[in-house]
Amino acid sequence: MEMGSELSKTVEFVATFIVQKILLDDVGLDYICTTAERFFAVGRVLGNMVAAIADQPSSRLLKHIIRCYLRLSDNPRACDALRSCLPDMLRDATFSTCLREDQTTRRWLQQLLHNVGVSRVPTLQAGAGFDHML
């Protein structure tokens, strides 16, 4: 799911969509959140993709990435871990232009930030974690 050529961007989009579908299933969410290694592997790839789309914005890809993070935040341990590993670019106004026209994704991001205990992004307003396993 790393960033690259136009063809690989299509593959990245499809791969992110598949990860999202896995996470939306309770069994898939539990599987990914069962071990710190799985959670952090998914989190690292999602974080790398956030950094890459900051340079080359893609609102469609951002939507799926945010939805993946939001679903991860439904797991108490993952939510605790996201407090420290959620990319700063999702906490600040980096993607405000991408999200301006997408009310659903903007709402998902605000819910994600609420879930992990981060204040809402100002420009967007119109349990036990994994730490013990490191």
What's the confidence (pLDDT) of residue 119?
Answer: 55
Counting every residue, how long is the chain? Answer: 134
Report the amino acid identity of residue 46.
L
- pLDDT at res. 108: 97
| pLDDT value at 11 more than 90 | no
- The conformational region for residue 117 under phi > 0 = left, psi -120 to 50 = alpha, else beta, is left
Question: Hey, CA dihedral for 15, 80, 76, 115, is it positive or negative?
Answer: negative
pLDDT digits 0-9 by tens, 18-34: 999 999 999 999 999 99
For residue 121, is pLDDT > 90? Answer: no
- Which one-letter DSSP state was computed for residue 117? T
**pLDDT, greater one: 9 or 86:** 86
pTM of the model: 0.83
pLDDT per position as a tens digit, 43-96: 999 999 999 899 888 899 999 999 999 999 999 999 999 999 999 999 998 999
At 3 the pLDDT is: 47
- Provide the CATH number for the domain formed by 4-116 in this structure: 1.25.10.10
> d(Cα 11, Cα 85) in Å, to the nearest integer?
25
- Domain regions of the chain by residue span: 4-116
For residues 50 and 89, give the distance between their C-alpha atoms in angstroms, rounded to a whole number: 7
